[in-house]
Chain A
Amino acid sequence: MANEEKSFEENLAQLEESVKSLEEGELPLKETLEKFEEGLKLSKLCTVELEAALKKIEQIVEKDGKIVSEPFEEEE
């Protein structure tokens, strides 16, 4: 269920859901462990995404009616 293609938002929401169902918990042991494992994966995915410094700053301009993106160099 933990899916790397999903957005940070979806993964976080799913993590919250897993915790909630554990909290409400009359889950069978097997499901508890499944939720636990899934939750750990999700929290790791979310953390990794947060920590990944993949900032990308582009400048969007229109040239001859076409949208062109160029890297934006910040002036110091």
Chain B
Amino acid sequence: MEIGLKIPDIPESGIISVGKLTDYIKQKLEGDSQLVNIWVRGEISNFRRHNNGHLYFTLKDNESQIECAMFRPSATSLKFEPEHGLKVLVRASVSVYKPYGKYQLVISEMHPDGLGALHQRFLQLKEKLKKEGLFSEEHKKPIPKFPRTVGLVTSPTGAAVRDLIRILTRRFPNIKIKLAPTLVQGIGAAEDIVRSIRLLNRVEGIDVIIVGRGGGSLEDLWCFNEEIVARAIFESKIPIISAVGHETDFTISDFVADCRASTPSNAAEIAVQDKDELLSNINHLRDKLLNKTKLTIAFKAQSLNAVIDRPLFKRPFDFINEYLQQLDDSMLRSGRAILVYLKLKREVLEGVKGKLHSLDPKAVLGRGYSVVMYEGKVIKKSSDIKINDLLDIILQKGEIKSKVVEVKDGK
């Protein structure tokens, strides 16, 4: 049987460990006066500030790049804020970080050296598109308040898409997400972003699109500063939220988009409202609904009670009784009045009867007077008769026929 593994026959003294080799390299590099305290020109990229105050970044130019470290004592004396894309002059020494076998520049001094070339391009494009009106407010489409479907233009892997999906679905569990897997850094990224934006514009029912990626160096984010991306965002019929990198990263996409989010997570928060907030709002509305309805019913009931409380509704027979009493009363009163009236009339009648009685000739005759008549006429003066006329004398009882013997004139 032959074993496949063969150890070459090399003397132990001829073998060096990784650590020893690294030590040797470190010694070589750090001992070279050409690599100590030298001035280097380059552009800052991938800038990181560590909690302990150390700065780490890459210094680069068109040909190459080198990792840099600037430790706290030197970093605190900096007169400016280092950032991505900034061109700088540094005084540094080459050193080797043994655990990773990595060579780097340890910087003791750093000064800005004009604006980085990329930054220059950024400013130029920004100015050009601004003049064209791509950033103006009048072109900004409103972001819908309650989108049903959110489109994503981002990488299908990585933290950004995970954050987006997690926050979108947590805030609004009933959301639909349509992801257009997109290359968001490196060669062809800009073209891919444009293709994805156009693709999602052809899909039915997408309410808002989030275009973005997580943090990275200025180079990593650069595709979002490309003109074709800016124009694709501008031409999108669907509102676009731009979410590129971190809070401090600004890209051309941010300016053209209908809304800029500081991070992908922030974009998700802008795109959909929080379910719990919405629920509490709905509950609040429902409580109001209930209270207002109760209040209205109470108010109507009060009006009703005010009517019901009136004596008429409370003790209806009181009214009837009172009415009957009134009726009795008036009948009584009118009865009395009739009696008085009749008495009065009777008195009047008696008076008239008395008068009539006095006019009755028979009553006069009763008192001893008599009526003299000649040929059916009552004689009132002596000149109406002559001697020998036959007169009828009417007494109270009976008549007398008599002959005139003498006539005397009366005054």
A: residues with CB less than 8 A from B are 7-9, 12, 15-16, 18-19, 22-23, 25, 27, 29, 32-33, 35-36, 39-40, 43, 46-47, 49-62, 67, 69, 72, 74-75
Contacts and interface: CB of A to CB of B under 8 A. Distances in A.
A39 B286 contact: yes
Contacts of B297: 29, 32
Contacts of A35: 289, 293
Nearest to A21: B292
Contact of B174 (A19, A49, A58, A62): A49
B145 A43 contact: no
Given A19-B285, A23-B288, A55 B293 contact: no
Interface string B155-172: 011000110010001001
9 contacts: A8-B146, A23-B288, A23-B292, A33-B293, A46-B282, A51-B173, A53-B169, A59-B178, A59-B181
Interface in B114-164: 144-146, 148, 151, 156-157, 161-162
Contacts of B283: 43
A19 B292 contact: yes
A59 B208 CA distance: 16
A16 B199 contact: no
A44 B178 CA distance: 28
A29 B172 contact: no
Given A16-B285, A32-B297, A67-B199, A74 B292 contact: no
Contacts of A15: 282, 285, 289
A68 B65 CA distance: 42
Given A43-B285, A52-B173, 20 more contacts: A22-B289, A22-B296, A29-B300, A32-B297, A36-B293, A39-B289, A50-B172, A50-B174, A54-B173, A55-B175, A55-B176, A56-B177, A57-B169, A58-B176, A58-B178, A59-B178, A60-B180, A67-B202, A74-B162, A75-B157
Contact of B296 (A19, A27, A50, A52): A27
A55 B288 contact: no
Interface of B: 144-146, 148, 151, 156-157, 161-162, 165, 169, 172-181, 195, 199-200, 202-203, 275, 278-279, 282-283, 285-286, 288-290, 292-293, 296-297, 300
Given A51-B173, A52-B173, A67-B202, A22 B178 contact: no
A25 B292 contact: yes
A60 B296 contact: no
A39 to B, nearest CB: 4
A61 B179 CA distance: 9
Given A53-B174, A60-B179, A47 B282 contact: yes
Contacts of A61: 180-181
B179 A43 contact: no
Nearest to A8: B146
A60 B176 contact: no
A22 B293 contact: yes
A34 to B, nearest CB: 10
Contacts of B146: 7-9, 12
Contacts of A75: 157
A22 B291 CA distance: 10
A75 B160 CA distance: 12
Contacts of B296: 22, 25, 27, 29, 32
A50 to B, nearest CB: 5
B193 to A, nearest CB: 14
Contacts of A54: 173-174, 176
A58 B289 contact: no
Contacts of A49: 174
Contacts of B178: 58-60, 69
Instruction: Give the one of A49, A51, A57, A69 with max B CB within 10 A.
Output: A57
